[in-house]
Every structure is written in C-alpha cells, then in structure tokens.
C-alpha cells in the first residue's frame, strides 16, 4: 500500500467538508462539516506519520482531537444560547459568504 | 528532559500571566458575584507580566525543549498583547456595568486569550503555533458572545466560531502538508530545509493553506467577511481587543512563519501575499466610506490596516518586519482607544453607534472629542502621530522589495481613508448636534484613553526608539 | 488484491459515503448518524496505518464525546429538523469557485507527485508507549497548553450555556 491513496482520500473528504460549510445553512450541519474537515486532516497526518516512521504526526493528531473537543463544547454552547434567544439555529442572517 | 528552572525564569512574563489567570479563576469562584475582585486580580496580573516583559527584550532564548523562543521578538510582541489587554480591562469594567453583564469570567477569558497570543508570538514549533492560536480563539469565541442575552452578540459569536473553526481546518491541513514534506514540525529544522522544500509543490500548497488560515485571523480580503459582523455584534471593548491583540498575534505568527523562518522574499508566496494586501486595502477602504455605523466603519478600517501591514510581510525584509512591529504597537493604542470611546458613547440595545450620534460632541464632552480626534488622525496617518510612521515604514519596505506598485496603492487608498476618518472629526467639531452622555465617564476609562493617546504621541515623536529596538531581532 | 488493500477500500468507501450523507442529507438526524460512520471509517484507516493509540482515541473522543455533544445539540434545538436547504444565489458562484480551486489544487498536487521517493511503510511496534513518553518529555509544554485549552472551554461553555440567574 502506498501513501498516495490515503492522501487523495483525505483531500476528497476535506473538500466534501468545505462544500458542507459553504452550502449549508444549519449551524449544526456546518459544525459537523468542520469536524469532517478536521478528521480528514488527521488522516493525512497519521498517514504521513506512518510513512515517515515518525510519531510526531500522531502527537499532532492527539492535540488536534483535544482542540476539537474543546471547540465542540464551546460551539454547541453558543448554538444553544442562540437558540434560547432566537428559537432558531438557521444561519440566514449569519450568511457565511456575505461580503 | 522536562522543564528546568531556567525555562521558567526565561519565560517569566508568560508563566506569571498563566499563574494570575488561575488565580483570577480561583478568586472568581470563591467570591461569588464579586467581579470587582477578578477585575483587580486580572489587572494586577497583566501589570506584573507587562513589567516583567520589559526585562525580556534581549536576545531570544529557546525554552521548553525548543518549543518556545522567549525574549527578543516574542518579548516585544508580549508588550503589544499585554498593553492591549491592560487597556481593554480598564475600559471594560465601566462598559460592562452599564450593559448589565459585568461578570468575572470576562477577565479570566481576556487573560487566557492573552496567554494564547504570547504562545503564538513565541512559538518555535508548529504544534505550539496551533495550540496558541486555538487557546486565543476559543477564549475569543466566548468573549464575542459574552452578552448572552443579546441576539446580536450570540450571532457574532456563532459566526466567529464557525469561520474560526473553518480556518482551523485550513491551518491544520497546512501544518500536515508541511510536516509531511519536511518530516518535522520544528520551525528551526524546517527553516534549514526551506531552500530544497521551496520547489516541492506539496510544501507550497501547505504554505498556501497557512496563508489562508492566517488571512482569516487577520481579516484580510477575501477572508475578511466575518470581521464587520463579528466586530459589530461583539461587546465593543472586545471588538477593540480582537482588532488589536488578536490581530497583532496573528501578524506575529505570520511574520514568524513566513519572514523569520521561511525566507519568502521574491518567491511566488510573496506575490500571493502582495495581492491579498492590495485587495484588503481597496475593499477595506472603499467599503468603509459607505458605512453609517461607527463600529462597522472601524471594522472595515481594520481590514484596510491589515492590508497595509501585509505589504510589509510581502516585502519580507528587515524594514518590513520592523515596520510591522512598530505599526502593530501604534495601531494597538489607536484602535483600543477608538473602540473605547465608541464603548463610552454606546447605550444599551446598540443605540448611539451611528455617525450622526457624534454630532457636536466637542461642545459638551471636549475631552472625548479631542481624544477621538487624535485616534482618527493617527488612523488616517497624519504626520505628527504614530500611525503615519507605521505606514511610512511598511511602504518603504515594499519599495525596497521592488513592490513599488503596492506602496503606491497603499498611499492612494490611505487618501480615501482620510475622508471617513475626518468625517467623524468634522461631525464632532463643526456640526450642531446634541451628542452627549447620560452617565459620567469612569476615571479608569479616562486613564486608559489618556495612556493610549500619550503613547501615540510619544511613538509619533520618537519612532526610532522602537525601530532601533526591533531591528536587533530580525530572523531567528 | 491483498487483504490490506481490500480493507483500505472498504473503509475508504464507508468514509466517503458517510461524509457525503453528512453534508448532503436533508434530515439532520441522518447527518448526525452518518457522521458516526465517517468517524468509524477513519478509525479503521488509523488501524490500517498501525496507529493503535490514535484509533482508540478517535473512538473515545470523536464517537464518545463530540458525537454525543452534537446529538445533544440536535435534540435541544429540535425545530431545525427538516430544514430548508436551498442556498442563496449570491453565495453559490463563489462557493463553487472556491471548492473547484481547492479540489483541483489538492487532488492535482497529490496525483502528480512522484511518491516513490517515500520509503516503504516502516510501521511502528507500539505507538502508545512512545506517545506517552514524548508527551511527558519533549512535548510537555504543548500538553500543558492543551489542558489550558480544555479548561477555557469548560469555563466558557458553562458561562454561555447556563441559565440566567435571578437578577443579581
């Protein structure tokens, strides 16, 4: 098995996540798409780490997971507090690509 | 290996701020509903760390097993972040009390995000860069949504969070590709490999992804779309903190990675950054002209200033680095001050935030009008004030790096900016109006504004003080 | 095709299909459960890459922690189920351009690079002891920072999401 299929798979998953962030309006789905992006990057890191025979990449994945957990807690707290005030988590007004 | 005693002493500003953050946390959980206690402890913590930072401007020393470089560049950047935090804390107490959301968590989060900034400026390893950015960002997401009963503040936090997390994805991918091609995350090791790596397309894509992520954090076009909405919805003093401390930290990391570690001068990356700089100057200034809300105007102006500073990074020479470091310090005092005055003028429910609410302010509040005029003149880059020299140095750097077109564009767009900065001054002095406050300005807020204004004047009169200092720590 | 390659393509298909469902499904509950399978697929790939510690952490943190949080979020904000997923026309064009540029660059650069310079997959004996040792020596500082990030998340999430106390 070579490295290339892993990197291609990771790139495709990353792009799928980006599509989700740019096209969906529900904050929770946008958040899930971001988690997909982070997962695909972690896959690249582990693949690089394995093929380099160097464990640093896996350390980085470990820290990325910690940060992802922290962001999940903060993000869902923000979504819930917004829902409490506004009764919606649709991001019409928070249109992400509004210039 | 572990941690030695000299690691602790060499990074005293950082360690003391972390300890004071924990102390504030303990004080806050102990003395329930006494946010004043947290205010004093956090102010003391930032003050102590600021005092210690002055002793750490000498040569940089790698600490914690090569994870951080303390002193020199990092020591100077710490001064910027800590000044921003100090003034923000002073200005925030009165503001939060008036907005009826004065809670001690505010100060805790300001301290932790400052710790994140200090880690970003001192990082010697991509892992530290990543964790520093995240520590800063996670605290700022919460600060943006600090007025949790206000829908605008919630929306601001949500937008900042989603786009910030999106940028984290790009940052991490960039780090992954750089790690994959160089086999290490250590910046010193990567800088030695850079001449070979700069021909590797995967490495260049990794650098490109890092440029995207950093451009998000400094709000440069086309990754700026979050800034106006977030700055408008967040508590005003937090917007001031985000547009100075957080922006300075992102610029410090940008400089660290792309100028100090990777020598991008004359490469395609430098061209890409020059284009981003040009776009930020044009979009920021042109859009700012059309704004009616002062907070939004300052948000677009901060996009434009990111463009000016980026021309220093595109130049990637000594003048560029010293120019940006001077610019960041000056801009910190100016923008914290300008947002501070907006926070004093603001009433509950986002009232009194428009340009016309400043009409005739000089008649009733001459001190505020004078201070605001100093800040606006400095933002516009009018000579005696520090803002002028910031622009002068970064444009000079661009000319030296054969980016004359960028410098010319910078000067032209600065002329546009004079219109909207001076419009506010004209409204305050030459227009009849009933702009006034329904409350007295707390003395601590006036002290903070005075410190900012005096620093701007002093930096404008003696710019060589800073420039000679920063010139000594070029490159790692 | 050997067993390893078959396993790789199996997990790759699981990951890609679930990822697509997460992003394109109209029902947020389907999205959340598809995310579960995407996380499992990636964990399987970690096992194939002999990253045992990371594979277990993936299951514990992503599946056990983050996914449960997401499901809580979905259930606490029930009205969002069956949300209308049309997107404004203004953002379609820039979105398509961004995605096309990104996909073109990434896939193009991975496709064309000559990977034979990479050594054959050396693999690891056991990763957990090595990672644990590094966390407490060279990477002690990042480890401490990570703990501070978690503390901030704790303070921040509690501050934002708790109920308002009676006027104090």
Any chains having at least 3 CB pairs less than 8 A from chain C are A, B
CA distance A59 to B346: 47
The residue of C54, C122, C133, C148 whose CB has the most chain B CBs within 10 angstroms, and thus the best one to mutate to test that interface, is C148
Query: What is the pLDDT confidence band of residue B235, given thresholds at 50, 70 and 90?
Result: very high
Q: Environment class of residue B293 by beta-carbon count within 10 Å: exposed (0-12), middle (13-18) or buried (19+)? A: middle
Residues of C with Cβ-Cβ distance to A70 under 8 angstroms: 149-150, 152-153
Q: How far is C157 from chain A (nearest CA, A)?
A: 5
Tens-digit pLDDT profile for residues B279-288: 999 999 999 9
Q: With b meaning 16 or more CB within 10 Å and e meaning fewer, what string describes B352-382?
A: bbbeebbbbbbeebeebbebbbbbbbbbbbb
| pLDDT tens per residue, range B29-44 | 887 778 889 999 999 9
Of C49, C70, C91, the CB nearest to A32: C70
- Separation of alpha carbons B368 and B353, rounded Å: 15
Residues B193-228 have pLDDT tens digits of: 988 888 888 999 999 999 999 999 999 988 888 899
Q: Which domains does chain C have, with CATH numbers?
A: 3-161 (1.20.120.1200)
Asked if A55 reaches chain C (Cβ–Cβ under 8 Å), the answer is: yes
Q: pLDDT confidence of C167, banded at 50, 70, 90?
A: very low
Could you read off the pLDDT of B103-145 as tens digits, one per residue? 889 999 999 999 999 999 999 999 999 999 999 999 999 999 9
For residue B426, pLDDT over 80 is answered with yes
Q: Which two tokens stand for residue C142?
A: 């990042």
Confidence (pLDDT) at C2: 84
* pLDDT of residue B391 exceeding 80: yes
Average pLDDT over all residues of chain B:
90
**Does the beta-carbon distance from A74 to B142 stay under 8 Å?**
yes
pLDDT for the residue numbered B283: 93
Query: Using CB atoms, which residue from A55, A73, A98 is nearest to C131?
Result: A55
Q: Which residues of C touch A28 (CB under 8 A)?
A: 28, 70, 73-74, 77, 80
- Can you give the pLDDT at residue B395? 94
Contact criterion met (CB < 8 Å) for B202 and C153: no
Query: Of A38, A60, A98, which is closest to B185 when you measure between CB atoms?
Result: A60
Distance separating alpha carbons of residues B432 and C157, to the nearest angstrom: 47
The 10s digit of each residue's pLDDT in A32-53 is: 999 999 999 999 999 999 888 8
Above 50 in pLDDT, residue B65?
yes
Contacts of B149 in chain C (CB under 8 A): 164
Distances (CA, A) of B346 to B25, B119, B465: 29, 33, 36
Write out the H or E segment, with its range, that includes residue C74.
helix C67-76
| Number of helical H runs and strand E runs in chain B | 21, 2
Query: For residue B141, which residues of chain A lie inside 8 Å, CB to CB?
Result: 74-75, 78
Which helix (H) or strand (E) segment holds residue B88: the answer is helix B73-98
Q: In whole angstroms, what is the distance from residue B167 CA to residue B228 CA? A: 17
**What would the pLDDT profile of B136-169 be if each residue is shown by its tens digit?**
999 999 999 998 888 888 888 988 999 999 999 9
Nearest CA in chain A to B167: A34
Burial of C166 (0-12, 13-18, 19+ CB in 10 A): exposed
User: Chain A: nearest CA to C166, how far in angstroms?
Assistant: 17
Mutate to test the interface with C, among B103, B108, B212 (most CBs of C within 10 A): B108
| Region B285-299 average pLDDT | 92
The pLDDT of residue C164 is 65
Record: contact C152-B1, CB cut-off 8 A: no
Predicted confidence at residue C117, as pLDDT, reads 53
Which of C109, C138, C152 is nearest residue B1 as measured by Cβ atoms?
A: C138
- Round to whole Å and give the CA distance between B301 and B373: 16
CB nearest A62 (choices: C74, C88, C131): C131
A15 touches chain C (CB under 8 A): yes
Strand partners, A48: none
Contact A97 C51 (CB under 8 A): no
The reply to whether residue B105 touches residue C156, judged by beta carbons under 8 angstroms, is yes
Every domain of chain A and the residues it spans: 4-86
The answer to whether A24 contacts C23, with C-beta atoms less than 8 Å apart, is yes
Of B261, B217, B218, B252, nearest in space to B121 by CA = B252
- The CATH code belonging to domain A4-86 is 1.10.287.3510
ipTM confidence score: 0.93
Of C141, C148, C160, the CB nearest to B148: C160
**What confidence category does residue C83 fall into, taking pLDDT thresholds of 50, 70 and 90?**
very low
Facing residue for B179 by CB, picked from A34, A60, A93: A60
What pLDDT, on a 0 to 100 scale, did the predictor assign at position B1?
56
For chain B, give every domain's residue range.
Answer: 5-471
Supply the DSSP symbol for B11: T
When pLDDT is cut at 50, 70 and 90, the band that residue C123 belongs to is low
CA-based end-to-end distance of chain B: 23
Any CB–CB contact under 8 A between C103 and chain A? yes
| 8-state DSSP, B356 | G
Select from A2, A14, A21, A26 the residue whose CB has the most chain C CBs within 10 Å, as the one to mutate to test that interface. Answer: A26
Neighbours of chain A (3+ CB pairs under 8 A): B, C
Segment B225-251 shows an average pLDDT of: 93
């Amino acid at each position: 098995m070579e490295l290339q299929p892993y990197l291609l798979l990771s790139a495709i998953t990353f792009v799928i996540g980006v599509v989700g962030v740019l096209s969906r309006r529900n904050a929770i789905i946008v958040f899930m798409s971001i988690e997909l992006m982070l997962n695909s990057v972690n896959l690249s890191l582990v693949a690089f780490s394995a093929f380099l025979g160097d464990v640093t990449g896996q350390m980085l994945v470990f820290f990325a997971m910690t940060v992802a957990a922290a962001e999940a807690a903060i993000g869902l707290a923000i979504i819930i507090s917004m829902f409490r005030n506004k009764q919606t988590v649709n991001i019409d007004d928070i249109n992400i690509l509004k210039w | 290996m572990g941690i030695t005693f000299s690691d602790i002493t060499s990074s005293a500003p950082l360690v003391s701020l972390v300890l004071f953050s924990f102390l504030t946390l303990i004080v806050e959980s102990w003395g329930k509903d006494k946010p004043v206690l947290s205010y004093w402890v956090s102010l003391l913590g930032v003050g102590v760390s600021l005092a210690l930072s002055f002793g750490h401007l000498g040569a940089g020393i790698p600490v914690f097993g090569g994870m951080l470089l303390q002193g020199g560049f990092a020591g100077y950047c710490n001064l910027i972040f800590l000044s921003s935090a100090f003034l923000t804390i002073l200005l925030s107490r009165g503001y939060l009390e008036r907005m009826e959301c004065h809670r001690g968590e505010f100060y805790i989060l300001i301290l932790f995000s400052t710790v994140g900034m200090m880690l970003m400026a001192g990082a010697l390893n991509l892992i530290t860069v990543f964790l520093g950015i995240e520590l800063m960002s996670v605290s700022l997401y919460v600060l943006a949504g600090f007025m949790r009963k206000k829908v605008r503040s919630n929306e601001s936090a949500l937008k900042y969070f989603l786009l910030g997390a999106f940028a984290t994805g790009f940052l991490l991918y960039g780090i992954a590709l750089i790690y994959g091609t160089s086999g290490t995350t250590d910046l010193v090791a990567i800088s030695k490999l850079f001449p070979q790596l700069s021909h590797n397309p995967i490495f260049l894509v990794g650098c490109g992804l890092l440029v995207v992520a950093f451009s998000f954090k400094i709000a440069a076009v086309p990754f700026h779309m979050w800034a106006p909405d977030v700055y408008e919805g967040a508590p005003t003093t937090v917007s001031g903190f985000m547009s100075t401390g957080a922006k300075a930290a992102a610029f410090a990391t940008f400089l660290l990675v792309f100028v100090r570690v990777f020598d991008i001068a004359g490469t395609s990356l430098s061209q890409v950054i020059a284009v981003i700089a040009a776009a930020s100057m044009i979009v920021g200034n042109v859009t700012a002209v059309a704004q009616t809300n002062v907070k939004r105007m300052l948000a677009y102006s901060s996009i434009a200033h990111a463009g000016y500073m980026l021309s220093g990074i595109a130049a990637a020479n000594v003048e560029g680095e010293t120019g940006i470091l001077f610019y960041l310090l000056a801009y910190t005092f100016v923008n914290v001050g300008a947002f501070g005055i907006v926070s004093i003028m603001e009433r509950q429910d986002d009232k009194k935030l428009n340009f016309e609410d400043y009409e005739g302010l000089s008649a009733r509040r001459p001190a505020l009008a004078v201070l605001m005029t100093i800040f606006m003149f400095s933002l516009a880059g009018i000579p005696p004030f520090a803002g002028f020299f910031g622009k002068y140095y970064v444009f000079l750097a661009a000319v030296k790096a054969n980016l004359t077109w960028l410098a010319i564009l910078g000067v032209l767009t600065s002329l546009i900016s004079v219109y909207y900065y001076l419009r506010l001054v004209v409204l305050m002095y030459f227009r009849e109006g009933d702009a006034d406050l329904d409350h007295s300005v707390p003395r601590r807020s006036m002290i903070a504004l005075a410190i900012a204004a005096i620093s701007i004047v002093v930096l404008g009169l003696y710019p060589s003080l800073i420039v000679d200092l920063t010139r000594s720590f070029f490159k790692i | 095709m050997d067993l390893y390659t078959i396993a790789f393509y199996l997990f790759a298909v699981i990951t890609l299909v679930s990822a697509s469902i997460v992003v394109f499904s109209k029902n947020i509950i389907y999205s959340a459960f598809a995310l579960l399978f995407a996380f499992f697929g990636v964990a399987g790939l970690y096992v194939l890459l002999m990253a045992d510690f990371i594979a277990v952490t993936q299951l514990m943190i992503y599946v056990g922690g983050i996914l449960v949080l997401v499901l809580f979020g979905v259930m606490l904000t029930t009205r969002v189920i069956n949300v209308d997923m049309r997107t404004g026309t203004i953002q379609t064009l820039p979105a398509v351009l961004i995605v096309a540029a990104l996909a073109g660059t990434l896939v193009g650069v991975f496709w064309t690079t000559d990977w034979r310079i990479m050594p054959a997959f050396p693999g690891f004996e056991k990763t957990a002891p090595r990672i644990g040792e590094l966390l407490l020596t060279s990477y002690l500082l990042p480890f401490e920072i990570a703990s501070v990030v978690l503390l901030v998340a704790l303070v921040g999430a509690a501050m934002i999401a708790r109920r308002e106390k009676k006027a104090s």
